[in-house]
Structure 1
Amino acid sequence: MFVAPGSCQGPVVVLGGADADRVRERGLRPGDALVVLDNSGWAWSTVLEHVEDGVCRARVTERWLAPERRTQVSVYQGLLHPSDFRRLLSAATGLGVVAFVPVIADGSIIPAAGGVGDDDAAAWERMARDAAEAAGRGRAPSVSGPMFLDHALDQAARNSTVLFVDGAGSPIATVLADRPFSVDVFLPPPSGFSADERARAVARGVHVVAAPRAGPDPVARAAAVLQTVYDGLEAPAADAP
């Protein structure tokens, strides 16, 4: 369970506020085991000693580094239907994605209310946190507010290898041959990126790559792209014995 930074110090973990509420919501009692994480990458195995409204205390029995992938992969997703974006958060977090940025593109599905509110963003963060807990990860991915495509491309191109997923492009594996440490993947909205958007991406020097076949479901397509990215990053080097 992810807890507030600073909760895991010394031999005793003290949880308050929302963290204590989550312990009680899970029906945990003194004597129960609980793995806690503070989003630093470390995990603490604990045994609960005190559980009540507003505060819980647990004794630390072990500490270890929770698993995380070597390469940091961030997803810039053309806005989907809210239910599809929620499914994407869960699936991609389980694969190891470290950050999500919803992108407003020409073919994006914009909520009928006209935007994404603070409640939506907070709910997305909770979903990503819960998915990271279920996957046994040491860090929960970040979820940013929506960003226009050109701004997102400019931001990503500063520090990462950028993959722009389009119908016609290079195989993903060829772009990742040098095993970059940071990869930003631009995934299209359901109708795809427009020709003008593709041209603007190419003008910024990003890599246009082809998506693997995965059927009509946008979340399945996104997951297939991300799995191909991780497969390319983790495949044995060509000159390995």
Structure 2
Amino acid sequence: MHRFFVPPEDLQGNRVTFSPEQAHQLRQVLRMQSGERVVVLDNSGWEYETVLVINGKQVTGELVAKRPSPGEPAIHLTLYQSLLRREKFEWVLQKCTEIGVSCIVPVITRRTLARETAVKPAKLTRWQKIVTEAAEQSRRGRIPQISPPQSLAAAMSHAVATTDLTLIPWEAARGTTIRDVLINRQIQSVALFIGPEGGFDTDEVENGRRLGIIPVTLGPRILRAETAALVASTLI
């Protein structure tokens, strides 16, 4: 069944009202009819099987079943991703949503190459649309939160203070893998730092190490920044 995230306030009792954009998609793009079923999500981790009621351009639905969404991972993973060029960063948003990242924080590092580090409202809206559509497609029960960009120093301090474990894949790390760090640990949250196209500066990694962040290796090959984000997130 097709899946749609809606604001919680659009769920009233056992009824849901779809936005004009969603109504257009249901009627004109998907060609759905009254009586057909979709899944509605309110970003709480629950999903609702819904029978459509189409009346002209307005589309509502009757909620007929409620169940936990099965698409949420056991570990809350926050990805601190150095800002990349537009197409690469948006690819990271989409793919890391699909594999279960819970929160994405753009980070400004010493070697960040992105031309614009300030996020304008239009860009944030576009990012939010990307992760919402990816969450619907991949059967997630929650939409990843996207935070405003932070400096690397501020992001590292926040990560260490708010998560059980913080990792930083680094090409100069030797021996310690993500599996080595995770084995026999009972954790609920992980923070993961991924560098820019040019990688992290040695001083940046050492500053993180002093805070308790653990450098790890992703293997003997050098991965692109966007590939590293996907590989490391999958391993967690």
Taking structure 2 as the reference length, what is the TM-score of the superposition?
Answer: 0.88
Q: Deviations over 1:207-240 (max 9, x none)?
A: 11112356644322221111122xxxxxxxxxxx
Name the residue aligned to 1:3. Answer: 6
Name the residue aligned to 1:191. Answer: 198
Name the residue aligned to 1:206. Answer: 213
Q: Deviations over 1:49-81 (max 9, x none)?
A: 12444x421112221111211110010001111
Q: Deviations over 1:79-108 (max 9, x none)?
A: 111100111111111110001011000111
Does 2:96 match 1:89? no
Name the residue aligned to 2:187. Answer: 180
Q: How does 1:5-154 map to 2 (within 5 A)?
A: 5-24=8-27, 26-27=29-30, 28-53=32-57, 55-67=58-70, 68-111=72-115, 115-154=118-157
- 1:3·1:19 contact (CA, 8 Å) conserved in 2? no
| Alpha-carbon distance in 2 for matches of 1:131, 1:118 | 20
The change in CA–CA distance for 1:168 and 1:215 in structure 2 (over 3 A counts) is closer
Q: Deviations over 1:172-227 (max 9, x none)?
A: 11221203100010011111000111111112111111123566443222211111
Aligned alpha-carbon RMSD (Å): 1.9
| Alpha-carbon distance in 2 for matches of 1:26, 1:228 | 37
- 1:33·1:45 contact (CA, 8 Å) conserved in 2? yes
| Alpha-carbon distance in 1 for matches of 2:106, 2:47 | 29
Residue-pair matches, total: 227
- 1:172·1:209 contact (CA, 8 Å) conserved in 2? yes
| Alpha-carbon distance in 1 for matches of 2:211, 2:228 | 25
Residue aligned with 2:137, SS: helix
Shift of 1:18: 4.8
Name the residue aligned to 1:224. Answer: 231
What is the letter of the counterpart of residue 71 of structure 1?
I
What is the aligned-residue identity percentage? 29
- 2:177·2:217 contact (CA, 8 Å) conserved in 1? yes
What is the letter of the counterpart of residue 31 of structure 1?
G
Structure 1: tracts of 5 or more residues without a match: 230-241
Shift of 1:168: 2.9
Shift of 1:26: 3.7
Residue aligned with 1:183, SS: strand
- 2:166·2:213 contact (CA, 8 Å) conserved in 1? yes
Taking structure 1 as the reference length, what is the TM-score of the superposition?
Answer: 0.87
The change in CA–CA distance for 1:31 and 1:214 in structure 2 (over 3 A counts) is farther
Structure 2: tracts of 5 or more residues without a match: none
| Alpha-carbon distance in 2 for matches of 1:114, 1:87 | 17
